[in-house]
């Protein structure tokens, strides 16, 4: 006896499962917001920073190369460093002209503090005024001798009075002479700064 088919009694054909990669495409119009701009900017700055660091490492120079670029011998660098460590200062006689010589000494931290106090006292309104104070105070702190005149602290004289006496001598000199000495002192300071750079840690 044949059975009547049951309505709705059927099965959905089984379809083998397949691995399908679905790509979701965002079709919305992109809008530039402060957040996205900031993120993009940070990423670009980070990339630039990494590139600059890489270039800096590749172009790094040895301590000897830096000395050579400033016409400083390794022997002189050793002499300066030894003097700074043993005596706390370094002195050098520098020709001002063919017949005039000045002797400079590296300055102490107290000399820089004195200069800062002078700025507070004078309160210069213009850069030129500040530079003029710096020239006078740095010269008075560094100048040991000039054109046969040697500055020595007198018996019973304290450091501040000695400095003031040298400052008065400088203020009494012709402006052109002081400018000339100041240029030589600036070159002296630059050499000391180069020698006492971070390279001394690895080289001395």
Mind giving me the DSSP string for 111-137? HHHHHHHHHHHH--SSHHHHHHHHHHH
Kindly report, residue by residue over 134-162, the tens digit of the pLDDT: 999 999 999 999 998 999 999 999 999 99
Q: What are 5-24's pLDDT values in tens digits?
A: 555 544 555 555 555 555 55
**Tokens 């000897």 map to which residue?**
64
Q: What is the mean pLDDT of the chain?
A: 82
Cβ-count burial 79-98 (b if 16+ within 10 Å, e if not)? ebbeebeeeeebebeeeeee
Q: With the C-alpha atoms ordered 171, 172, 175, 180, is the resulting torsion angle positive or negative?
A: negative
pTM of the predicted protein model: 0.68
The whole-number pLDDT of residue 35 equals 52
Q: Is 202 helix (H, G, I), strand (E, B) or coil?
A: helix
The pLDDT tens digits for 32-45 are: 554 555 556 566 66
Q: pLDDT for 55-100, tens place per residue?
A: 444 345 788 899 999 999 999 999 999 999 999 999 999 999 999 9
Give me 27's structure tokens: 């079709």
pLDDT at 197: 85
Q: Are 167 and 201 in contact (CB under 8 A)?
A: no
Q: Is pLDDT above 80 for 114?
A: yes
Q: Whole-angstrom Cα distance, residue 91 to residue 111?
A: 16
């Amino acid at each position: 006896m044949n059975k009547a088919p049951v309505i709705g009694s059927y099965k959905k054909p089984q379809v083998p499962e397949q691995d399908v990669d679905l790509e979701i495409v965002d079709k919305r119009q992109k809008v530039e917001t402060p957040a996205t701009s900031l993120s993009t900017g940070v990423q670009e700055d980070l990339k630039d920073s990494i590139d600059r660091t890489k270039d800096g490492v590749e172009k790094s120079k040895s301590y000897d190369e830096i000395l050579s670029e400033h016409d400083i011998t390794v022997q002189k660098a050793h002499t300066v460093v030894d003097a700074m460590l043993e005596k706390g200062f370094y002195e050098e006689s520098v020709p001002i002209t063919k017949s005039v010589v000045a002797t400079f000494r590296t300055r102490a931290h107290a000399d820089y503090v004195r200069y800062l106090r002078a700025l507070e006292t004078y309160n210069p309104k213009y850069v030129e005024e500040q530079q003029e104070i710096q020239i006078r105070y740095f010269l008075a702190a560094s100048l040991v001798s000039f054109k046969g005149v040697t500055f020595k602290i007198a018996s019973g004289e304290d450091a501040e009075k000695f400095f003031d006496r040298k400052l008065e001598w400088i203020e009494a000199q012709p402006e052109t002479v002081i400018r000339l000495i100041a240029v030589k002192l600036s070159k002296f300071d630059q050499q000391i700064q180069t020698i006492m750079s971070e390279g001394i840690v690895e080289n001395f």
